């Protein structure tokens, strides 16, 4: 079974803090993704990566950065958290037939 794990299920941070969200997959997948999900807006792609140290902007990259130093790990960084970044953050990896497998999600609250 594919397993995608995320470092935290719930996180509360203060405005202006630097926030790290980590994602690990155990299937040697090349492509990994970070989404945020908000009511009424659906899943929105923040960044994705197709190889170590390679990254591409998604639809809403502003205020975020990413890091992929190892194939199995993809990190999302909020450089200076703001209240409008309160959301559910979902990591996914791409399987052999283009399907995506999601981690359990991190519900981030910025106060």
Partner 1 sequence: QKEVEQNSGPLSVPEGAIASLNCTYSDRGSQSFFWYRQYSGKSPELIMSIYSNGDKEDGRFTAQLNKASQYVSLLIRDSQPSDSATYLCAGGPNSGGSNYKLTFGKGTLLTVNP
Asked if 45 interacts with partner 1 (CB under 8 A), we say: yes
**Which of 65, 55, 10 is CA-nearest to residue 32?**
55
Q: Which of 54, 70, 79, 83 binds partner 1 (CB under 8 A)?
A: 54
**Which of 91, 86, 111 is CA-nearest to residue 103?**
91
**Residue 54 CB, nearest approach to partner 1 (Å):** 8
Output the six-digit token pair for 7: 């470092």
**The one segment of 20-28, 35-43, 65-73, 78-86 that binds partner 1 by CB under 8 A:** 35-43
**Which of 100, 85, 96, 88 is CA-nearest to residue 32?**
100
Question: Which residues lie across from 38 on neighbouring strands?
Answer: 42
CA angle 76, 100, 52 (to 5 degrees): 45
Output the six-digit token pair for 48: 């994705």
Q: Which of 33, 34, 64, 74 binds partner 1 (CB under 8 A)?
A: 33
Q: How many residues bind partner 1 (CB under 8 A)?
A: 25
**Residue 16 CB, nearest approach to partner 1 (Å):** 28
Asked if 71 interacts with partner 1 (CB under 8 A), we say: no
Asked if 1 interacts with partner 1 (CB under 8 A), we say: no
Asked if 34 interacts with partner 1 (CB under 8 A), we say: no
- Separation of alpha carbons 69 and 102, rounded Å: 20
Give whichever of 12 and 54 is closer to partner 1, judged by the CB atom: 54
């Amino acid at each position: 079974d594919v397993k995608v794990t995320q470092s935290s299920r719930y996180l509360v941070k203060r405005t202006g803090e630097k926030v790290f969200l980590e994602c690990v997959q155990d299937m040697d997948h090349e492509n990994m993704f970070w989404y945020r999900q908000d009511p009424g807006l659906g899943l929105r792609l923040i960044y994705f990566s197709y190889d170590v140290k390679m990254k591409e902007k998604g639809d809403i990259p502003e205020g975020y950065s990413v890091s992929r130093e190892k194939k199995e790990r993809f990190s999302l960084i909020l450089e200076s958290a703001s209240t409008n970044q309160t959301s559910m953050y979902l990591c996914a990896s791409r399987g052999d037939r283009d399907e995506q497998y999601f981690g359990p999600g991190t519900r981030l609250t910025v106060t």
